[in-house]
Structures are given as C-alpha cells and as structure tokens.
C-alpha cells in the first residue's frame, strides 16, 4: 500500500463527518442478518446538528464526494450522505467538507450491500445513483436491480425518489425495464440530459460529476431517470429487457485516456467474431 494512501487513511480517522463502521460488527450475525449500527434512525442527531426533520439524501457510490458536496451546496435545507467503500476516495470529500465546515455533508464508508444496517424505515427522502458501474454481466450487482430496490424500500420514505444519472445506455434501459416490470412511477426520463428540452429537475444539469464532465467532453450523452419505488410485494426482474442488444450498442468509454473494462471486453469479443468468420 502506498504511503499517500496510508496518510489518507490516517487522516480519515479524524474527520467527524466521516463514519467508518467495522464490517465485522455489521456481519456479526451473518450476511443475511446484518446487525444495526447505532446511527440507524439517528443521522440527523448524531451526524448533523441542524433541523432534526431535515430531509436525508444519499448518494450511493459517491467516489470522491464531489457530487454529494455540490448537491449539498444547492440544497442547504437537506442533509446529504455520500456512501462508498473506498477510503482513499472518500478522503477528498471528507477533507473538503471538514476544511469548509459544511454543516449538511457526511460520508459513510461501507459496502452498499450493507446499507440497510445504517438507515431506519422512512429515514431517507431521496437516493442518487450517479454513474454507477452498469455491471453488464451481473444483474444483482446493478444498483437499480430488484435486489437493491428491495434494500432501498426498507428505509426510503413513502413517495421518496430514486435518481439515476448515467452515461450507460445499457443501465438506463435496464432500469426503465425494471420500472415497467414492477409498475413503478417514472417521474422523469431522458436519453440526452443536456440536449433537447426534457422536463427534469434543474439540479440534474446544474451539478456534474468528474466522470460526467469527462464523458461529455468525449461526446457521449448523459441519461437521466427518476422514479418512486412505492409498491407492495417483491420486485421482479424485467423479462422484456434484451441485455445482449443493449450490450452491443453500448458505446466505448475512455477513462484517463485508456479503454474502460467493458470497452476492452467489447473489442475482444469483436476481434473473436471477426476471427471466427475468417475460419
């Protein structure tokens, strides 16, 4: 482990806005019986010290926290929590929030699979999924899959909103299909957030993530979808979603001048197909 990463981990221990629970404690009763953390149901009292009834908004997979911080700046009447497992990434957001004494920003270092151990029924008003890994090969790992929606429903208040912002048409279309299969109310939907006149909340355009800016510079469109998950019964997977088709049309992505992992897979698949045709 690099010296700089160790330094960041050490600093993380002193940021009051960053909660780093022990995974061993959460898993003490097993993966399917997560042990509740003491902050569950008490976020506005333990981590924020303003309005005890202020809305609580989560960004899941927040990375370095720049989107969480920007949202908090736009909506000072709500409290924002960025969630990620990477401590070295969270360090940047936590350090900024600490140095600027941001009153409505906090971070939680945990796996998103454990999220129900930290939030009580009705405690959260909104969830943001910003540029999540589309997980093209593993449905249950997608943050908008039925498995994750079941988790969110346990703490999202009635009428609460899930926002999906992504460069991945695959993930966008998959999530639309999940909404259709489960009869979920779609509030806004566009395949080109910055083109046309889609009726979306202004904040979706006013705040951009680092990766969002990168993909916009490459000429890729940004997709946006917001929906409610109020429903009875289990969530189901969409039978009508053509995963192979949407994988095939997913555009290539460059991260820091290099192919993304999915782009590399696409190129290998295409090369294999050409080779087999030539045989």
Instruction: Dump pLDDT digits (tens) for 252-261.
Output: 665 555 555 5
pLDDT one-digit tens code per residue, 75-95: 999 999 999 999 999 999 999
Instruction: Name the average pLDDT for the chain.
Output: 89
Q: Is 261 helix (H, G, I), strand (E, B) or coil?
A: helix
Q: Which of 28-42, 58-72, 204-218, 230-244 has the lowest mean pLDDT?
A: 204-218
What is the structure's pLDDT at 255?
53
Is the per-residue pLDDT at 62 higher than 70? yes
Q: Does residue 196 register a pLDDT over 70?
A: yes
Question: Within its chain, how far is the Cα of 44 from the centroid?
Answer: 21
Partnered with residue 56 across adjacent β-strands are 79
Distance CA 254, CA 239 (A): 31
> Does the predicted model carry a pTM greater than 0.95?
no
pLDDT reported for residue 44: 94
**Would you call 29 a catalytic residue per the annotation?**
no
Residues in Cβ contact with 276 at an 8 Å cutoff, skipping those fewer than 6 apart: none
pLDDT the model gives residue 215: 84
Residue with tokens 């197909």: 273
Is residue 62 within 8 A of residue 93, CB to CB? The reply is: yes
Q: Return the minimum-mean-pLDDT range out of 122-131, 204-213, 237-246.
A: 204-213
pLDDT confidence tier of residue 12, bands split at 50, 70 and 90: confident
Instruction: Provide the pLDDT for residue 42.
Output: 95
Phi, psi (degrees; rounded to nearest 5) at 164: -120, 125
**pLDDT 10s digits, 158-174:** 999 999 999 999 999 99
C-alpha separations of 224 from 87, 88, 128 in Å? 28, 28, 11
Residues 6+ apart with CB under 8 A from 6: none
Q: Choosing from 36, 51, 84, 133, which is the catalytic residue?
A: 133
Architecture of the CATH domain 3-278: 3-Layer(aba) Sandwich (3.40)
Would you state the pLDDT for residue 220?
86
Question: What pLDDT is attached to residue 218?
Answer: 81
Contacts of 261 (CB under 8 A, 6+ apart): none
The answer on pLDDT for 250 being more than 70 is yes
Residue 6: pLDDT over 90: no
The pLDDT assigned to 147 comes to: 97
With CA atoms as reference, report the closest residue to 181 among 235, 102, 136: 235
Per-residue model confidence (pLDDT) at position 49: 83
- Could you state, in order of their start, the residue ranges of all structural domains in the chain? 3-278
Of 176-180, 223-227, 230-234, 268-272, the range with the lowest mean pLDDT is 268-272
Beta carbons of 144 and 137 less than 8 angstroms apart: no
The first and second tokens of residue 235, run together, are: 């969530």
Q: Which residue pairs from 237-240 have beta carbons closer than 8 angstroms and sit at least 24 positions apart in sequence?
A: 237/139, 237/145, 237/146, 237/178, 237/181, 238/174, 238/177, 238/178, 238/180, 238/181, 239/181, 240/177, 240/180, 240/181
- Written as six digits, the tokens of 105 are 């920003």
């Amino acid at each position: 482990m690099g010296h700089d990463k160790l330094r960041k981990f050490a600093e993380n221990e002193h940021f009051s806005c960053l909660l780093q629970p022990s995974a061993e404690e959460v898993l003490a009763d097993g993966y399917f019986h997560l042990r509740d953390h003491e902050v569950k149901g008490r976020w506005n009292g333990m981590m924020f010290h303003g309005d005890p009834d202020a809305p609580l908004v989560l960004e899941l997979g927040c990375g370095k926290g720049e989107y969480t911080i920007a949202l908090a700046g736009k909506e000072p009447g709500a409290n924002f929590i960025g969630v990620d497992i990477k401590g070295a990434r969270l360090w940047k957001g936590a350090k900024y929030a600490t140095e600027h004494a941001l009153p409505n920003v906090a971070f939680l270092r945990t796996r998103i699979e454990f999220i129900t151990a930290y939030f009580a029924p009705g405690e959260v008003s909104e969830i943001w999924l910003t540029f999540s890994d589309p997980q093209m090969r593993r449905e249950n790992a997608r943050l908008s899959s039925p498995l994750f929606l079941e988790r969110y429903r346990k703490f999202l208040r009635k009428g609460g909103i899930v926002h999906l912002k992504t460069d991945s048409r695959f993930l966008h279309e998959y999530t639309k299909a999940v909404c259709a299969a489960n009869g979920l109310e779609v509030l806004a939907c566009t395949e080109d957030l910055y083109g046309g006149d889609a009726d979306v909340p202004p904040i979706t355009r006013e705040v951009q993530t680092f990766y969002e800016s990168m993909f916009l510079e490459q000429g890729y469109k940004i997709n946006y979808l917001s929906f409610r998950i109020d429903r009875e019964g289990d969530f189901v997977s969409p039978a009508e979603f053509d995963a192979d088709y949407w994988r095939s049309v997913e555009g290539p992505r460059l991260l820091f001048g290099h192919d993304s992992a999915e782009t590399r897979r696409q190129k290998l698949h295409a090369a294999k197909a050409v080779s087999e045709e030539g045989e």
